[in-house]
Amino acid sequence: MELAIKRSEHEKIRKLLFSNDTGKRYLAVVLCEALEEQKVIKLTNLEKLYVKGLYDSESEVSFCAGCAFFESHSFRDLLGEHTRFGEEARKWAFKKVSRSNSNYNHQN
């Protein structure tokens, strides 16, 4: 994901909204929202409807760090309420998107 951000591969990130991998789908939602808020992209109506549906989804997104840590949360919990992972993901996304846009603007 970070490489896609660094390379400004916005279409690749958008396609991940529909990934079978819930982790990639979750990060794509967070990134697309950050990109749209910073007016880098404009989501289509279909993408917006899909993201809106994820806000109510009970599909699980798993987090693990080796054998010592494993948790899972629903999209609804991660996107709707501010869990520890949701807050950190949003901070990460805005930081990466801002840095990427800043680098892009300096190069052009």
Give tens-digit pLDDT for 6-52: 899 999 999 999 999 999 999 999 999 999 999 999 999 999 999 99
Residue 101 has pLDDT above 90, yes or no: no
Q: How many domains does the chain have?
A: 1
- C-alpha to C-alpha distance for 14 and 3, rounded to whole angstroms: 14
CA angle 1, 48, 15 (to 5 degrees): 35
Helices (H), the chain: 2-6, 10-15, 22-37, 45-54, 75, 84-107
Range of the domain at 17: 2-107
pTM to 2 decimals?
A: 0.84
Distance separating alpha carbons of residues 73 and 57, to the nearest angstrom: 11
